[in-house]
Amino acid sequence: MIEAAERLVQHAAQLSVSLDEGQAQLLLDYLALIQKWNKVYNLTAVRGPEEMLTHHLLDSLAVVAPLRRHLAQAGLSAGSRLMDVGSGAGLPGVVLAICCPEVSVTCVDTVSKKATFIQQVAISLKLPNLKGLHARVESLADSCDVVTSRAFASLVDFTNWSADALAPDGVWLALKGKLPTDEIAALPPSVNVFHVEQLSVPGLDADRCLVWMRRSAAAS
C-alpha cells in the first residue's frame, strides 16, 4: 500500500497536483471501496487495480489543477460549490472532494445505488464536503459555481439538462476523450465554449480534453 501511495503521489505530480500522504491514502481507500461495492452493485466496468488507478484516479486527478486555476482566477478558491452530473461511482467528484476540501461537491446520479455509494464514501472517508444525491439533474434548481461531467452525455444534453443548476456566472466543465468537434458545433448560441484544454494522463494511452463552457453574454 505504501508503494501504491508513493506511485500515486508521483503520478499526481506529473499532473501538477501535490498530494499529501493523507490525500493519497484517501484516494486509495476510495478505490478499495469501489472494488468492494463493485462485487454487488456493478458501479464500474473497470475492475483491474492498475486499470482503475489510471482510468479512474489519474483520469480524474487530471481535472484538479485546471479546476483550482479556474477557481483562483474567479476568486472562488474558498466556499465554492461544484456539482458532478452523472457521477456514477463518483468520478471525478469524489477525487475533487478529496483534493479540494475547500470545495463543496455534490455527486448526482439517477441510479439510487450509485448515489448511496457516494454517501457511504463520504461517511467512510470522513469527507464533510461530499454529498451523493439521487436525482435527475434537470429537476435541480441550484446555484453551483462549476458543473462537471465525465463520459456522461453530449455537450448539448449536458448543458441543457444542468442549466438550472448552474450559477449565473458559473461554468460547465466536461471531461471528454477526443476533441468533440461535432458536439461543440451543435451547441446553441446560448452556450459559449471559451477554452478547450488538452490533457495528458500518465499511463493512459488515450486522448483526453477538458471543454470549458459558460452562458454566452446574450443569454446572461
Residue ranges of the domains in the chain? 63-219
Write down the residue that cell numbers 472532494 correspond to. Answer: 97
What gap in Å lies between CA 188 and CA 115, rounded to an integer?
31
Share of the chain above pLDDT 90, in %: 77
| Contact partners, residue 17, CB within 8 Å, separation at least 6 | 61, 64, 65, 99
3-class state of residue 164 by DSSP: helix
Position 62: which residue type? Answer: A
The per-residue pLDDT for range 114-136, each reduced to its tens digit, is 999 999 999 999 999 999 999 99
pTM of the entire predicted model: 0.94
Cα atoms in the 13 Å half-sphere on the side-chain side of 14: 14
Examine the pLDDT at 49 and tell me if it is beyond 80: no
**For 63-219, which CATH superfamily applies?**
Vaccinia Virus protein VP39 (3.40.50.150)
The per-residue pLDDT for range 166-204, each reduced to its tens digit, is 999 999 999 999 999 999 999 999 999 999 999 999 888
The values of phi and psi at residue 85, to 5°, are -90, 135
- Decide if 57 contacts 8 (C-beta within 8 A): yes
Q: What is the dihedral of CA 129, 145, 141, 150, to 10 degrees?
A: -80
Question: Tell me, what DSSP letter sits at residue 139?
Answer: G
- Decide if 192 contacts 179 (C-beta within 8 A): no
Look at residue 107 in the predicted model and tell me its pLDDT: 97
Question: Tell me, what DSSP letter sits at residue 143?
Answer: -
| For range 91-95, the mean pLDDT | 96
Return the sign of the alpha-carbon dihedral for residues 85, 179, 171, 105.
Answer: positive
Phi-psi region of 88 (alpha: psi -120 to 50; beta: other; left: phi over 0): left
The per-residue pLDDT for range 58-89, each reduced to its tens digit, is 999 999 999 999 999 999 978 899 999 999 99
| Contact partners, residue 22, CB within 8 Å, separation at least 6 | none
